[in-house]
Structure 1
Amino acid sequence: MFVNVDPAIAAARYRAIGDSLAEGVVVFDAGGDVLACNARAEAMLGMTEEQMLGRHVDGSCWRLLGEDGAPLPAAKRPDRVSLQTGQVLTGVVIGLQRGDGGIAWLSVSTAPWALDDSPTMAGVVATLLDITEQKLATESLLESEQRFRQAFDNAPVGMAIYSPDGRLLSVNPWLCRMMGYSEAELRTLSPEQCTPPADLARELSLHGQLLRGELSSVSFEKTLICRDGLRLVVRKNLSVVRNALARPVKLIGQIEDISGLKEAQSAAFSRSLVAAQEAERKRIAHELHDEIGQSLTALKITLGRARKVVSEPSAQESLDHAQWIISSLMNEIRGIAHRLRPPELDQLGLTATLRTYLEKTLRAGDVKISFTSDVGDARFSPDIELCCFRVTQEAATNCLRHAAARRFEVELRLESERLSLTIRDDGAGFDLAAQKDSGSLGLIGMRERVKAVGGKLVINSCPRLGTEILARFPIRFFTGVPIAGASS
């Protein structure tokens, strides 16, 4: 059943329907001229329907841009393509330059239309969707991602991006250099290959707290295992990125190598500890010399006077024995005070002090001594001189107590930009690995002392093959005293 409707009423209804649409609609005839548009199209295009009527699809009024921002050639305009080919196009992004200089970004879809069942195309209908806000937001997001990627790639610290399940998604060049791996290699490594078990357990716990929202970011120290087995102490900062639904989508990690800082802190602590020990040694040495030594001297003098007035032979014999005990005790106290803080070190310098010490200490043990020095009377930093003496003292003590050596050699030499102390014996030697496991305080003390003054210590030993100790100190620790000739 067909109802006759007044054409004017039908046109008004279609107009109302078209103006109620959220999309813009522009109708072209088969020749490419505008037949009609709705109110939304007027707002988008910045022209009234009257201004657009009769305008051709190729007209200069349409200042269109491609998605890349370049002027859009007429042959690529979606309305024209549909007119020429009869194709249906959807979602073509174009920009429209407005009269005020702004750009409206549109998603355009075009389709042919025909009258009734006519096979002949009567024109093209174009629907326009304003995507300006989405376009600008997308461009802003891309710019932000580009800035992040640039900062990520050029950061002077290690950077990494992880998935919520802990998979490594991306790393920057700095982290690759730090660990000695390529990015592809790092992606194949398991967490256990890069982190010791104790550190890994703590890191996984913090990782879980981040994902659960208990923490927004964390900062912690850990050990990082590199390709060559080198272990770095790093500070790792982790933060989580969430989507609009507050679900974690990735984690961003910043890894900073603080091994140097830790070594500096350790060296500073060692220096302060050594300084405190030496100050206490000096104080005790002075007290032994000034207080106990003087008291024993006074007691010896008193016993001498008493012997002169006592005629009983047995009493004189007892007094003589008491004086002998006091003399022995005084010698022992002087020896202890000397070992605590040799005064020659401050007065005569390193070479003379080492020679004197070795003669006094090892000659009595029937050990053949060889001392060679090419630094003459040169004076060095007090810390360096004291460190050389203490290392030699510890080595000589170990030689007498444990090594059963027949020969003990000490060399003090200037090499290229460093002071070198080499100590060797032909004694029993020892197992280095076993000594490390036992936590030998003597060896630990040597290492800490040398490290505290910026030097390096190497110990070589093997059972029945003797021991060699190499200590090297940077030349920056030298004082301004000229280097004299060699002595031996």
Structure 2
Amino acid sequence: MITDRAARVTCTHDRPDACAMLVTVRDGRAVDVSRWPSTRRPMVVTAPGVVGEEGRRAAPEYSGLPAPGRPLTMTGGGASRPPREAPGDVSRVATIAQRVRTTWQHGVEARPSWPRLTGTLARSLLVGVAYYAGAWVGFATTFPGTGVSILWPPNTVLLAALLTAPARRWWAFGVTTLIAHVLAHGQVGVPPAVLLIQFGGNAAQAIVATLLLRRLTPTPWRHTLGSAVALIAVAGIVAPAVASVLAAPAYVQAGWLPTFTAAWRVRVLSNLVSTPALAPLFIAVASRGLQGLREVPPRRVAEFAAVVAGMLLGTAVVAQSAVTPDYRWLVHAPMPLLLWAAVRFGSSGLGVALFVVVFVFLAQPFSGPSIAATPAANALALQVYLVTIAVPLQLLAALVEERRRAERQVAESARRYQMATQAGGVGVWDWDLETGRIYVDAVLTRALGYADHEIPNTIEAWGALIHPDDAARVWDAAQVHLDGHTPHYAVEHRMLHRDGSVRWFLARGAVSDRRDGRAVRMTGTDSDITERKSAEEALAESARRIRELTGRLMVAQEQERRHIARELHDDLSQQVAALAISISTTRRRLGLGGAPDRALAELDALQHRVTGLADAMRQLSHGLHSAALEHGGLAAGLESFAAEFSRRERLQVTVLVEGDDGVIPRPVALALYRIVQESIRNVARHSGAGRAEVVVAIGDAAVEVLVRDAGTGFDVSGSRRGAGLGLVSIEERVRLLGGRLLVTSIPGRGTDLLVEVPLTDAGAGPPTDHGAPSLGVGDVLGRTGGRPSGRR
């Protein structure tokens, strides 16, 4: 889990304006990725979900993820390392992605080992220097006339370092702070044994506080009200109370305090003052560093400087004037400025202000907030005074910071919500069913061409904008849902635009509040689907035109077939027949005149070929257009086709027609004839069967046609994906008739092709439900024992 480091990534482009990418982490998971020009300062994540102010200003707009395929490079405080492989190398991208995941999940930077080691040493040295400076600050805050330090910053420095760093770095902090402790206390003459016991107590206090705080508060640290309470209770009371048991004997041994109890009390109070006053400031610096100070606006810097100056001046005046009992009330004069610092600058600014108060009080001839008999009692009174103002002010600062974070999150969520709704044309509405008031997103108002204030927030005003043809359907759907008959409300409808045009919307919603079984509130969304509807209408129009053209093509095809068949039968066939007669007549004449036998044989062969040509032309004419179908109806046409096909092919075709085929419209009969014709040809080509059956059942409203074979069968789903023109032609003819097609086949057991078409309104259109026909192929097969035997 990320603690004190940011997961920062750079995406490299072919252009100079490369961009950087920040991964925002919350509870160990990436929750946001922001992108901004690399010329700006990089954004820094110092705690889960907390982004440095410099990054907020550098990247005010959310740009989303980088383009796919661009290599990612981890950066470690300096220039980014470009990928060694060419951009787009999959293995390199996978490696970088794994490093990013490791950083997100475990807080391990995806860097070489030597930068990590260098960073650890540098950080530990800074902690050691801060510990050393804090010790001298503690020496400087010793109350006049006593050996008691009002506050002891070194322990707070060590606590901040441990709390914001992984445990594997603690050893380095221990080494540098031990050296700093020895140097600082050695210079004031503290015996070696005493200073070692002191440091042991300080280290134990910091470790105990860190372990408890990590269990009680979020990791990484976030300054909230709960965290502030835990910090004061654990780091200010519990940990010092435990550690002082170890360190208090050293104070007595050195002669600083007379008893163990006094030593224990003094040490606990010093840490209790330091914790609320300085710990939030030190933790913030340890987490984020000082980089954010560069991005602070000048006006805010000037405001903080004015507060600090006012604190210096006001506290100095208070310390000078409150020496006498008559002016003791002036000790509360700095409170307004402290409140200002807490509210405007948070816990860090408050820590600086409290630090100023302590130093000014101790630099003046001030005996504490109350007249006491001894300097030690005055020191105790000052410590109690500082604790009583620091604790509530820090809690107030935590509340303010928590509120600001919540406001930023709400603002960010609202911004993203607005971006998403604007991009998707989706708006939220909230309908109060008791008052008739309705809140509607401005996205919907603007989609209809109105300004935000032009449409009243009443259901009547918005209902008036629904297209009159859709209004009844919309209100009926809403009422059905309000009555509890449907789980959700969903309806597509039109609304009137300000310019007179029409916009399509998809409304979805649900009752969000019921009282006594009655719906009182309903919320939902409206999505602008005008473009989708336009595309659907264009697609439907295109499909309609295709169907129309297909129907015209088939009609033209049949007309051309009829024309060619008539030409073959009436013209060419007659001419060929006349030619055959002429050849026969010529042969007879030559035979009577004693022509050579060779010439007579050639004439016989020529006559035979002409006769075959006439037969072929007759078959072609019948195939193009069945005269039996045209003059005798569907049954005669099918029987003629079956008989002729059985003679030409090695497939025995039987036909059974049940009912009066005279009721079948001519276009329907022709289409069914072509369907059977194409189906039988498919059986002959692909099934390997020796027998095929055609059953026609003519009812009152529909006609059913079944073509069955006992061949090899096939995979219906597979054939649909790669269907040839035969099946496609059959499907199109059935669809143009408004009928239904069912193909069932079992490999090795044959195929059934069942067609049902209506006898009324036969024409192009979608498949419709014709109801159960009065007579079906099942009835016919049942009466014939499953085997058609002829026309009935």
Q: Which is greater in Rg?
A: 2
Structure with the higher helix share, 1 or 2: 2
Higher relative contact order (CA 8 A, sep 6+): 1
Structure 2 length-normalised TM: 0.31
Structure with the higher strand share, 1 or 2: 1
Structure 1 length-normalised TM: 0.48
